[in-house]
A and B are shown apart, each in its own frame.
Chain A
């Protein structure tokens, strides 16, 4: 699975969880800030992490929600643990 596919998977998760904001999610890049641009608070981030674990079959065991600032940070983590 390459970065592009991981990013698409992440966008799908964001769409399911956010429920709206489709335009923001579609225009997101790896540089997008999770808090200010994608509007995720700490609980939203936690929810994303749980859903990523289920979708990509990885584990975020020692990760803190504040470890991830940009969408690219999440993709880096998934890529390293997949």
Chain B
């Protein structure tokens, strides 16, 4: 009956879940553990929201999940009976009633899948996540001999701009961590800590895997393409762009991550560069003051997805975002002089942060020189140099002296 009700819920609830969660699933190793769990298993997960269970219901669509759930949920008028019908395992955290262990064990013996949130509750905002793990999952694995499948979620539900992301880890046999010289209680405490460490490791892996996807917000490409396509013809007619290459090797078109750096003669420079390098979508680095300007924010953030940087007091988040763009294979444009140069010809000393960005993003640096147009009817001329591969020149860990030299 529970299995039948689960199927009914999944089939009828799927369209709602599809829009409410838009779950994206990642795997540590899909060949070892995919969405279909074979045989009995214990699922453990970090706990971010009351909807974690609902998300997992659809992630592991082919199996009936029997999650251990707190007593408070069963007291709810509508939710309580629903969870009972879905096969939720009642856990009363206020008493010494351990019947949920026996019930979980009997489900596993029948080949079922039991889910546990070892933190036992949702952490409060000020608490460090994940909370310390209770030993129930480790104990259940010990008495049943069943493997544990660790999963993590980013907890982003009902969020139109940010998808729910779930990572499925490789199954763990706790037998490999069992120390025969230790007491059972001690072993369970150690294994619970190791399971917690595993969830922390998988959370980092999920963040890493989803980093590139997070850079592409919904509708961004549609809007950006629309602007580029509609602006391309007027820009081509007005500027009549001409690109002069320093040598044959400079004619290369860059399809992967690249950092273009240019002199800065005016506010129109990004537009000029985008017109000349029409084949790439370039994310420019802009100063924090311009980015935060309410009138310009839509254009800089949503339409062109620029990267805001406080040049005087660099924030690590900005730097990480920039290197994440580069590592994800995107093109970034930067004006390293740090300000608009009003007088002609002479280029200021470039700030050496640029070198660090290229090294950490593992991308080539491409020099660009935009010639200032003296009259509106002059052609736009841009000079493009050969790419500089800093990793080849200085290795992965250059000294500060080498960075300054570069």
Contacts and interface: CB of A to CB of B under 8 A. Distances in A.
B246 interface: no
B314 A50 contact: no
Interface in A42-65: 42-44, 46-47, 49-51, 60-65
Interface residues of B, number: 20
A23 to B, nearest CB: 16
Interface string B311-323: 0111111011000
Interface in A7-32: 16-20
B353 interface: yes
Interface in B311-344: 312-317, 319-320
Contacts of B320: 61
Given A16-B397, A17-B399, A63 B351 contact: no
B401 A62 contact: no
A5 interface: no
Interface residues of A, number: 21
A16 B402 CA distance: 12
B314 A65 contact: yes
A47 B400 contact: yes
Contacts of A20: 399, 401
Contact of B313 (A49, A51, A65): A65
Contact of B400 (A44, A49, A60, A66): A44
B314 A64 contact: yes
B360 interface: yes
Contacts of A40: 400
Interface string B390-406: 00000001011111000
Among all A-B residue pairs, the 8 with the closest Cβ atoms: A19-B399, A60-B316, A66-B313, A64-B313, A43-B353, A65-B314, A44-B400, A64-B315
Interface of A: 16-20, 40, 42-44, 46-47, 49-51, 60-66
Given A19-B399, A50-B360, A64-B315, 8 more contacts: A16-B397, A20-B401, A42-B313, A43-B356, A47-B356, A50-B319, A50-B356, A65-B313
